[in-house]
Amino acid sequence: MKKNITVYAKARYCILLILLFTANSGFAQQVYTFVDTDSLSVGDIFEYTVVVDSREQLLSYPTEDDFEEEVELVDRTRYQVHANRDSLVYKLQFFGTDDLTLDRKSLLLSTASGDTTLYTNRVPIFFKTLLAEEDEEFRPLKPIFDFARSIYPYIILFLTLLIAGYLIYRYLKLQQKKQKQAKPVYQQLPFKNPLNQLKSEIEHLKRIDELSSFDDFEQFYIEIGDAIRRYLKRIHEIPALEMTTSEITASLKKEFVSAEVISITRKVLNSADMVKFANFEPTKEQAQSTLDKANTFIEIVSESDAEIIDQMREKHDMAESEKSGISNAGQK
């Protein structure tokens, strides 16, 4: 199967070379789309090539935001063999867990009669799992064994509860006596800033140079992903810890969160998911890159979420003031 894919990819490149270096006089506007593989695993990088045959000037072409959430743009190169042909080669990294179809992308041309939009073809890509066949089988649960019952544990439990009940009674009586002697003052709880909590969690991560085993890298990525998810839960009140990256992205769009925040969130969580769920073994350089993205996330939300955090602080202070007022009124 692998040999067939290699031959198939070589055939595609041959067709691409023919299109790039063969001049064609009197041709109409044409768009050709190619990928260098037909199946991918999580983390694979592949090439997506668009060739435009036209005498007109190419004004715009697909950008990072035009591609699906399951892929991330790594690099883009433009070649212009001659005035009648442009080619765009995109290097994309795959983060999906299922088959994917790259939808049609638009290209804008400037013509004498006005601007013209051309579209690429849809490109199907098949997901290739990393699990071995023997890992896909679930082992049956072990049988439940019956243990002989004994009355002694129940007697010990009864005596323990009896003693605990007596101690609780004495404790409550003592507290009532202290309350009569001194009236306690309600202590307001300090506001916990979600941004400061996120910074603290990122700062307490294990150092990059201390990561030596896969377990170290896995724990490092899990802690980064969970720290981001907890922050989103506190700020936007969504169950981010129980949601997939795609579900979090969709929820943020519903909350009208900026595209910049959504983009950096998806990049950090995709990297964490790749290690956590796909057993991808990162390098120290990749771990540092993910940490840099997390720090970039902090810088962006420090500005974008400042108003939300101020509102949270005001709401907290108001609630604590009400509790303090009720407590003091009850003591009078």
- Percent above pLDDT 90 for the chain: 35
Instruction: Name, in order, each residue with C-beta under 8 angstroms of 292's C-beta and a sequence gap of 6 or more.
Output: none
The neighbouring-strand residues paired with 192 are none
Per-residue confidence at 110, pLDDT binned at 50, 70, 90? confident
Q: How far is CA 224 from CA 14, 194, 215, 245, in A?
A: 44, 15, 14, 14
Which own/partner pairs from 115-123 qualify as long-range (CB within 8 Å, at least 24 positions apart)? 115/59, 116/29, 116/56, 118/29, 118/31, 118/52, 118/54, 119/31, 120/31, 120/33, 120/50, 120/62, 121/31, 121/33, 123/33, 123/35, 123/48
Judged by average pLDDT, the poorest of 5-14, 16-25, 284-293 is 16-25
CA distance 312 to 234: 10
Record the tokens describing residue 72, joined without a space: 């991330």
Q: Sheet harboring 57-60: ordered strands across?
A: 57-60, 106-111, 114-119
Return the residue matching tokens 């042909």: 85
- Percent above pLDDT 70 for the chain: 80
Give the tens place of pLDDT for each residue, 221-251: 999 999 999 999 999 999 999 999 999 999 9
- Most trustworthy range by pLDDT among 20-34, 82-96, 233-247, 273-287: 233-247
What is the Cβ-side half-sphere exposure of residue 280, based on CA atoms within 13 angstroms?
23
Return the residue matching tokens 């055939």: 11
**Helix H or strand E encompassing 127:** strand 123-127
> For the whole model, what pTM was predicted?
0.54
For the segment 306-317, the average pLDDT, to the nearest whole number, is 92
Per-residue confidence at 320, pLDDT binned at 50, 70, 90? confident
Per the CB < 8 A criterion, the answer to whether 300 and 284 are in contact is no
CA distance 234 to 309: 10
Instruction: Name, in order, each residue with C-beta under 8 angstroms of 158's C-beta and a sequence gap of 6 or more.
Output: none
Query: 143 φ, ψ to 5°?
Result: -65, 150
The neighbouring-strand residues paired with 109 are 58, 116
pLDDT at 25 over 50: no
Task: Report the pLDDT value the prediction gives residue 12, as an integer from 0 to 100.
Answer: 61
pLDDT at 296 over 50: yes
Task: Report the pLDDT value the prediction gives residue 225, as an integer from 0 to 100.
Answer: 93
Task: Report the pLDDT value the prediction gives residue 23, as an integer from 0 to 100.
Answer: 40
Task: Report the pLDDT value the prediction gives residue 143, as an integer from 0 to 100.
Answer: 56
Task: Report the pLDDT value the prediction gives residue 3, as an integer from 0 to 100.
Answer: 47
Helix ranges (H only) for the chain are 2-21, 152-181, 194-203, 214-236, 245-254, 259-278, 284-304, 306-331
The string of DSSP codes covering 161-186 is HHHHHHHHHHHHHHHHHHHHH--PPP
Q: How many other β-carbons are positioned within 10 Å of the β-carbon of residue 322?
A: 10
Task: Report the pLDDT value the prediction gives residue 64, as an integer from 0 to 100.
Answer: 86
- Most trustworthy range by pLDDT among 79-83, 110-114, 169-173: 169-173
Per-residue confidence at 33, pLDDT binned at 50, 70, 90? very high
CA distance 168 to 160: 12
Task: Report the pLDDT value the prediction gives residue 277, as an integer from 0 to 100.
Answer: 85
Judged by average pLDDT, the poorest of 24-38, 240-254, 259-273, 304-318 is 24-38
pLDDT at 130 over 50: yes
For the segment 24-42, the average pLDDT, to the nearest whole number, is 76
Average pLDDT, the chain: 82
**Helix H or strand E encompassing 33:** strand 30-35
Task: Report the pLDDT value the prediction gives residue 179, as an integer from 0 to 100.
Answer: 72
Give the tens place of pLDDT for each residue, 192-221: 999 999 999 999 998 999 999 999 999 999
The neighbouring-strand residues paired with 100 are 125
Instruction: Name, in order, each residue with C-beta under 8 angstroms of 265's C-beta and a sequence gap of 6 or more.
Output: 228, 232, 248, 249, 252, 297
Per-residue confidence at 5, pLDDT binned at 50, 70, 90? very low
Task: Report the pLDDT value the prediction gives residue 87, as an integer from 0 to 100.
Answer: 85
CA distance 262 to 186: 41
Strands 100-102 and 45-53: unpaired
Task: Report the pLDDT value the prediction gives residue 100, as an integer from 0 to 100.
Answer: 86
Task: Report the pLDDT value the prediction gives residue 138, as an integer from 0 to 100.
Answer: 45
Per-residue confidence at 27, pLDDT binned at 50, 70, 90? very low
For the segment 276-298, the average pLDDT, to the nearest whole number, is 90
Per the CB < 8 A criterion, the answer to whether 53 and 27 are in contact is yes
